[in-house]
Every structure is written in structure tokens, then in C-alpha cells.
Amino acid sequence: MSIKFDFTGKVALITGSSSGIGAGIAELFAKSGANVVVTGRNADRVAKVAKQCTDLSPKQLTALEVVGDMTNDEDCNRLIETTVQTFGKIDILVNNAGMDKLADPNSDDYYQLFLSVMQTNLYSVVYLTHKCVPYLAKTRGNIINISSNGSKVTINGYSPHCMSKAAVDMFTKCMAAELGPKHHIRVNSVNPGVVLTDILVHNNNTISREVSNQLLNAVGAKCPVGRPGQPEDIANTVAYLASDTAAGFLTGSNVLADGGYIAANVS
């Protein structure tokens, strides 16, 4: 039985929504009646997901396409301005844009890799949240940050990723505490585990999609649920948190959606 959400009349802005988890989130919001903003750095992928969102929309609402890099402040500002100009408001902000980079602390480029991961995974989240507060305050909206179960454990070779996501979790709690009383904005994060997407392919040109799927399936099989996650698994969690009816009492929460990876100490 599928879960049904109703976001009719809502405007959902999802960063990094041209593929993977972000695309799954955008498609579920569209299917649930929301006006959706699809954004990413690749115009073709943005257009493809936007069309899928429009096709899934019960009223065939046209998804807004915005091509941009969330590490660029001007692109972030344009994203927000275009959204408000098109739809007049923002109800839901999903900070999903992220990246992983294998980083050896003894390598010459470690600090540069650290900076690039932090710029994407943390600084863009902080900047977009800061810029969207005035609009979300008007709609009593909410923010969902896509973190990682890597914020809870160490992963050899991925220290920048783990640090950035731990910071996102704390930022989520800080914003929930500050934006709730003043602006009636709820803020939560979702912490996925292994999810079957192309992130390994996008972040490492030497890995094929076939090899990536084999690696992710192998780790997922070790989890208590016996499989890797799918983008729709994370999308359902995000939609639940975004729903004032279902999750109106939740704010400042870091919600693990990792198939039991951490509970089972999977390695």
C-alpha cells in the first residue's frame, strides 16, 4: 500500500533534484499536488526530472526548472528569486544538494577536498536557509536537510563527508530552536544510509554504474532490512516531515532512514 500525502497549493524547492534522492523527493511532492522547483547543475537532467514531475502532477502542474550551482551565492539568489517570482511563495525547502569525495588526510589535496565538500554539503545549506527565512516565515513553512548516517559514525576515507553532515545535524537543531519561536518554521533532517543512486558514478569517473550498484547492493544486503534504500524510501520520510498534519510536532529531529545500518553496526 502506497503512502498518500497532500501538498496541494504548496511550493516545494528541492536542491540537487536533477537525479537520485533529490529527484525522488521532487517527484513525490509533484505526485502529491505541490508546485515543484527542480534544480541542479546539468540542464538536461533538470529538464528530464521536471518533465517527470509535470507528468506525475494530478493537475499537470508545470515544474519550474532552474539550472545552478548551490556553491555559488548568485545562483542561490537567482533560484530563490525565480521561485518567488513564479509561484509567489516558498512553503518547503529541502536542502538535498551534496557530494562525497574520497579524501586521504595524508594526500596533498586533502584540504582542498575538505573545502569543496564543506562548501556543497554545509555552506550551501546555511546560505539557502538564511536567504529563505523571510519567505518561510510568511507561510509558516518548514525545512528538511538531507544529512547522512555518516554524521553518526566514522567512515574511513570520508572524513570531510562525516564532518559536514555532523555539522548539518547540529545546524538543523540550532535552526529549529531559533526559527520555531520567532517564525513558526519547523526544521528537521533526514539521515539516509546506503541508497541506490548514481552518486558514486558522479563523484568518481573510474566507477561504472554496474560496479556502483554491486557495491551498494552488497552493503545494503548487510543491513537488517536486507537491501539498500531507494530514492522513494527517503522521499517518503521527507514528505512525512514536511506534512504539518503528520509531523506538526516534530522539529529539531535527525531522522535515521538507513535500513538499520547503524543499529546493526554494519561495516
Same structural domain, 82 and 203: no
Pair 59, 37 in one domain: yes
Angstrom distance (rounded) from CA 36 to CA 262: 32
Residues 214 and 174 in one domain: no
The answer to whether position 1 is within a domain reads no
Q: Which pLDDT does position 204 carry in this prediction?
A: 63
Check whether residue 149 and residue 216 sit in a common domain. no
Q: Does 38 share its domain with 119?
A: yes
Going 220 to 199 to 19 to 161, the CA torsion angle's sign is positive
Say if residue 153 is in the same domain as residue 70: yes
pLDDT in tens, 154-182: 999 999 999 999 999 999 999 999 999 99
138: domain CATH number is 3.40.50.720
What average pLDDT score do residues 120-125 get? 98
Same domain, 203 and 252: no
**Do 110 and 211 share a domain, yes or no?**
no
State whether 205 and 115 are in the same domain. no
Return d(Cα 105, Cα 213) in angstroms, integer.
27
In a domain, 5, yes or no: no
pLDDT digits (tens, 9 = 90+) for 83-104: 999 999 999 999 999 998 889 9
In the chain, the number of structural domains is 2
For 212-240, how does the pLDDT look when each residue is reduced to its tens digit (9 = 90+)? 888 899 999 999 999 999 999 999 999 99
Same domain, 175 and 221: no
- Domain extent, residue 107, equals 11-193+230-257
Residue 163 counted as domain residue: yes
- Given pLDDT bands bounded at 50, 70 and 90, which one contains residue 140? very high
Q: Are residues 251 and 146 in the same domain?
A: yes
- Indicate the residue type of 266: V
pLDDT at 1: 40
User: In this structure, is residue 3 part of a structural domain?
Assistant: no
User: Alpha-carbon distance 171 to 189, whole Å?
Assistant: 10
Does any domain span residue 6?
no
Grid coordinates of 151 = 554524521
Is 124 domain-assigned? yes
> Are 32 and 146 in a shared domain?
yes
* Model pLDDT for residues 12-39, shown as the tens digit of each residue: 999 999 999 999 999 999 999 999 999 9
Q: Is residue 149 part of a domain?
A: yes
pLDDT band for position 267 (cuts 50, 70, 90): confident
Q: For residue 57, is it within any domain?
A: yes
Name the pTM for this structure: 0.96
